[in-house]
Amino acid sequence: MTGPLISVAELRAQLGDVTLLDVRYRTGGPPGREDFEAGHVPGAAYVDLDADLAAPPGRGGRHPLPPTDVFHAAMRRAGVSAGHPVVVYDDWQGRAASRCWWLLRHHGHDEVRVLDGGWAAWVAAGGDVETGGSRDREAGDLAGPPGRMTVVDALDAPGVAVLVDARAPERYRGETEPIDPVAGHVPGAVNVPTEANLDASGRFRSPRDLAEAYAAVGAGPDTDVAAYCGSGVTACHGVLAMEVAGIRAALYPGSWSDWVADPGRPVETG
C-alpha cells in the first residue's frame, strides 16, 4: 500500500483485487442504502455508518465507537479479511469513508485506502456502475482487536498540544450550533475544517499543501496532535488528511457531543 488514498485510475486497475465498501452517509440525512442500490462501484458492499460503524447515541456522544463484535460482524458480512486490500468510498468527499478507514486501521487492518473524490469522481471518470443490492460474497475473517490507532477522551483532550476541531468555522466559534445543545469549542482547540483538506474538485489536497495547512495551527510530524468534530465521524477526515501530510494524529471519538454532555466542562467561543 502506498498511502491512505487511492485514485479512480488506480482502483480501476485493481478492481477485482480489492474488497470494496460503500459508506454513503450524510449527517441528518437518510441512510445511503437507496443510493447504493441505485448505483455503486461494481462489487461494492454497502456499509451503514449508524448501524455498523457506531454504537447508539448515549454515553460517549452521538456516534460512539461500535462494540468490537458489531464491527467485526459487519466487516465480515462485507467480505473484509485480514491481509486483503480494502477500498472505501462515499458521496460526502471522504468524510464517512474516513470513519470506516479509521476503524479498520484501529482494528489492525493496514491495507485500507479511501477513494479520493469518492463516488462523484468515479462517475465523472466514466467508471462502470452496478445497480441493486450487495452481491452474495464469501464472509471475511477480520478479527483484530481495537487499539492500533491512538484515541483520547475528555480527560486527555485538554492536555493535547494541538487539538484540532474539524467542524465548520461558525460552529467552532460558537456562532451557531445546529446539532448539539451547547455552542463553542474545547478551550485551546484550533480550527481546521474538513473543507480545508480538499481542493476545488473535492479531492484531498497534496501532501505538501496539507502539511502547510496543519503547520499553520502548530501541527507537525513531531507534535502531539488529536482531532475532534461534532460526534467523531468527520474528525476521521482530519486524521486521514494529517496522515497524508505525514502527521500521526489521535482521535477524540466522543468529540463535542461528548464534551458538552457534562455541563461542568468549560466551553470557549470566538
| Contact between 216 and 116 (Cβ < 8 Å) | no
Which contacts qualify for 5-8: CB closer than 8 Å, 24 or more apart? 5/113, 5/114, 5/115, 5/116, 5/204, 5/240, 5/244, 6/87, 6/113, 6/114, 6/115, 6/116, 7/115, 7/116, 7/117, 8/115, 8/116, 8/117, 8/121, 8/122, 8/125, 8/127
Rounded to 5 degrees, φ, ψ at 266 are: -70, 155
Cell of 35: 443510493
Q: Is 236 a catalytic residue?
A: no
Residue 162's H or E segment, with its range, is strand 162-165
Q: Is 191 exposed, middle or buried (0-12, 13-18, 19+ CB in 10 A)?
A: middle
Q: Who's near 237: CB < 8 A, 6+ residues apart?
A: 94, 95, 98, 166, 194, 197
Q: Report the C-alpha gap between 177 and 53 in whole angstroms.
A: 24
Active-site residue identified among 21, 217, 229, 240? 229
Q: Report the C-alpha gap between 65 and 54 in whole angstroms.
A: 5
Cell of 124: 465523472
Q: Report the C-alpha gap between 159 and 91 in whole angstroms.
A: 35
| Contact between 224 and 139 (Cβ < 8 Å) | no
**Which residues belong to the active site?**
229
